[in-house]
Structure 1
Amino acid sequence: MSTERRVPARYYARLIEVLRDQDVDTDAVVADSGIPADELFDVDGTLPLERIESLLAAARTATARTDIALALAAALKLTSHSAVSYGILSSPTAGYALGLVARYFGLILPMFRVRYGCRDEIMRLRLTPAAGMSHESFAFHLELIVACVHWELRDLIAGDMPPYDVYFSIDTPPHVARYEALREMRIHFGTLDQPGAEMAWPRDLASRPLALSDPTALRMAENRCAEMIERVRVREGIASWVGMMLREANGPPPGHCELAAALNISSRTLDRYLRKEGATFRELSKQATQQRAGRLLSEGRLSVTEVAMELGYSDVANFTRAFRRDTGLTPSEWRQQPPIGDGESPDTADARWV
């Protein structure tokens, strides 16, 4: 099983254009990322996810901003998604367009899965990670996808967007005020137990007709998407995905059987896949708990007791003993360490003691 996940380069080339418009030294950003310029600006090219994460880190360092995902989303258009764009634009209804996006999202950002459905008078779009990512990359792409869906659906229905709700697993970001521009959206951060996001609109939006509906063009676009998706077979290592799902969960992390069910495999099969990659569920669970504990303590918004409860410990003393055994420090002593240095990501800081 390959561990390389490749992602269309076009979105990140557009990010460079957005940064250039903001007078950022984009030549330095590209150089710091280690991505050859001809690969980044190849319209039909793809990049390894690891390279993209390096680019995002370089962009954050150059801008000192946390909201670049929202800036990129505002710059992308309905025509930004290759063959999927033609299917979206020629769909008969808003609901059909979102269902098409869900079916062929592997052609857009393949490190996420998208599910679409209508139930109990609500039209829902659910995003879940399909590949292991750093915390910063996961949050960036989650915000990017949600904001893109908002702006592009709004364009599809000519701006007549009803108020609706969006639920995130990630905590409230420093740039939360930027969401005021997405005025129909009611935001709920830190409300999903499992990593991802969910967008929920009134169900009647699903039947809203679209102005450019074209059955012939739609059939051609869907045939093209089906051909292309057959070639997207590379799968991220399961160990990386399991580690991220455990690390990014809110509250007690998902269990062994729960993660196996998410992959539509048995627990024994999950164990077999993990062994092939030199990992075990127990080791990944321990590492994810350590990383989450370090990040929560460093953020300082929760007390030590609240961090213990967030991680699923019933007794703060048990948490303190486990933390000290693994790090050589008590949680309070960990908090007294110097803050993360310039250029060091929270994931890098976690690695100091894992």
Structure 2
Amino acid sequence: MSTERQVPARYYARLMEVVRAMDIDTDALIADSGIAADALAEPEGTISLAQIENLLAATQAATGRSDLGLALAAALKLTSHSAVSYGILSSPTAGYALGLVARFFSLILPTFRVRYGCRDNTMRLTLTPAAGMSHACFAFHLELIVACVHRELHDLIAGDMPPYDVHFSIETPPHVARYDSLREMRTHFGVMGQPGADMIWPRDLASRPLAMSDPTALRMAESRCAEMLERARVSEGVAAWVGMMLREAHGPPPGHCELAAALNISSRTLDRYLQKEGTSFRELSKQARKDRAGDLLSQDRLSVTEIAMELGYADAANFSRAFRRDTGLTPSQWRQQPPAAPN
């Protein structure tokens, strides 16, 4: 299976415009990231996820800013999403517009999945990663998507947004004060067990009519999006995605069957895909467990017992035994001699 995921370049071209306004040499950032300048200039150009990782790392280093996802969201408009924009604008209700976004989100950013639904008294949009990526890249895109959805839904309903909640899997960022500008949003960081975010509004917002509703334009936009989606369907690697889902989870990691269900495949099919990529769920789980434990131990802010609870172990003794089995060191020995810990 191919792991070279291609992503629309338009958002990163806009990011470079935002960074250029900070008096940063974006030509150097683009070249150093291995991206051809014309790839960003092309309206339908694409770049690889690896190139995006390089560009974000270089840009964050050059600017010294952790809030680039929010900065980019503020610079995007409802018309920034190619054919999907026309479907959003011509939707009859706010709920229909969010459902359309969920159906065609892979045309916007194929590195994430979006689910939409209403239950009890809430309308909910759930974001989860669809590709393996670094934590910095994941956090950038998660904040970007959440802020974009907020701003664009705000515009669709002419600013009449009720207070609502967003639950993030990522920890509170250094720039959390920037969320104050998204007035109706109540943010809750580090509370989702699985990587991603949940945006939860009162259910009656789903039926809110939109001023630009146009059934004919909507049919044309949905037809166009469906054609584009069919052309874009390709087989893709899953090992990096499984590894990231295990690494980014809070509390007990997702199970084998749970991850297969998230991909709409059977556990046996997931095993075949991983085998083709030269690994297995067991190996990925073992590596993710070591990585998460090592990261928490290196931060030196939690006790061994607290880390055991964070990782889903019944007690510190079980965690210590598992960590020693994986690394050859006890948690206390690892903290005293971190360079000696195996990779």
Bin of the TM-score, shorter chain as denominator length: over 0.9
CA drift at 1:335: 4.4
Are 1:29 and 1:58, in contact at CA under 8 Å, matched by a contact in 2? Answer: yes
Q: One-letter code of the match for 1:93?
A: T
Q: 5+ residue gaps in structure 2? A: none
Deviations 1:45-87 (A, max 9, x none): 1111111011000011101111100000011000000000011
Deviations 1:120-174 (A, max 9, x none): 1111111111111111111111111000000000011111111000011111111
| Cα distance in 1 for residues equivalent to 2:131 and 2:102 | 16
- Say yes or no: does 1:112 pair with 2:109: no
Q: Which residue of 2 aligns with 1:345?
A: none
CA drift at 1:320: 3.3
C-alpha spacing 1:261/1:83, structure 2 compared with 1 (3 Å): same
Deviations 1:250-287 (A, max 9, x none): 10101112222222332222212211111111100011
RMSD of the alignment, in Å? 1.8
Q: Which residue of 2 aligns with 1:320?
A: 320
Q: Which residue of 1 aligns with 2:64?
A: 64
Within 5 Å, which residues of 2 pair with 1:209-228? 209-228=209-228
Q: One-letter code of the match for 2:182?
A: L
| TM-score computed with the length of structure 1 as normaliser | 0.92
| Cα distance in 2 for residues equivalent to 1:60 and 1:297 | 25
CA drift at 1:242: 1.1
Are 2:242 and 2:259, in contact at CA under 8 Å, matched by a contact in 1? Answer: yes
Aligned pair count reads 342
Are 1:89 and 1:212, in contact at CA under 8 Å, matched by a contact in 2? Answer: yes
Q: Which residue of 2 aligns with 1:73?
A: 73
Q: Which residue of 2 aligns with 1:102?
A: 102
SS in 1 for 2:62: helix
C-alpha spacing 1:229/1:284, structure 2 compared with 1 (3 Å): same
Deviations 1:221-276 (A, max 9, x none): 11110110001112431211111111111101011122222223322222122111
Deviations 1:182-220 (A, max 9, x none): 110000111111111110111111111111111111111
| Cα distance in 2 for residues equivalent to 1:353 and 1:70 | 37
| TM-score computed with the length of structure 2 as normaliser | 0.94
Within 5 Å, which residues of 2 pair with 1:302-321? 302-321=302-321
Q: One-letter code of the match for 1:244?
A: M
Q: 5+ residue gaps in structure 1? A: 339-348
| Cα distance in 1 for residues equivalent to 2:335 and 2:27 | 37
Q: Which residue of 2 aligns with 1:343?
A: none
Q: Which residue of 2 aligns with 1:254?
A: 254
| Cα distance in 2 for residues equivalent to 1:309 and 1:262 | 25
Worse-matched range after superposition: 125-134 or 19-28:
19-28
Are 1:13 and 1:41, in contact at CA under 8 Å, matched by a contact in 2? Answer: yes
Are 1:4 and 1:235, in contact at CA under 8 Å, matched by a contact in 2? Answer: no
Are 2:308 and 2:314, in contact at CA under 8 Å, matched by a contact in 1? Answer: yes
Q: Which residue of 1 aligns with 2:200?
A: 200
Q: Which residue of 2 aligns with 1:28?
A: 28
Are 1:132 and 1:236, in contact at CA under 8 Å, matched by a contact in 2? Answer: no
CA drift at 1:7: 0.5
| Cα distance in 1 for residues equivalent to 2:182 and 2:235 | 33
| Cα distance in 2 for residues equivalent to 1:8 and 1:265 | 26
CA drift at 1:319: 2.9
Q: One-letter code of the match for 1:105?
A: F
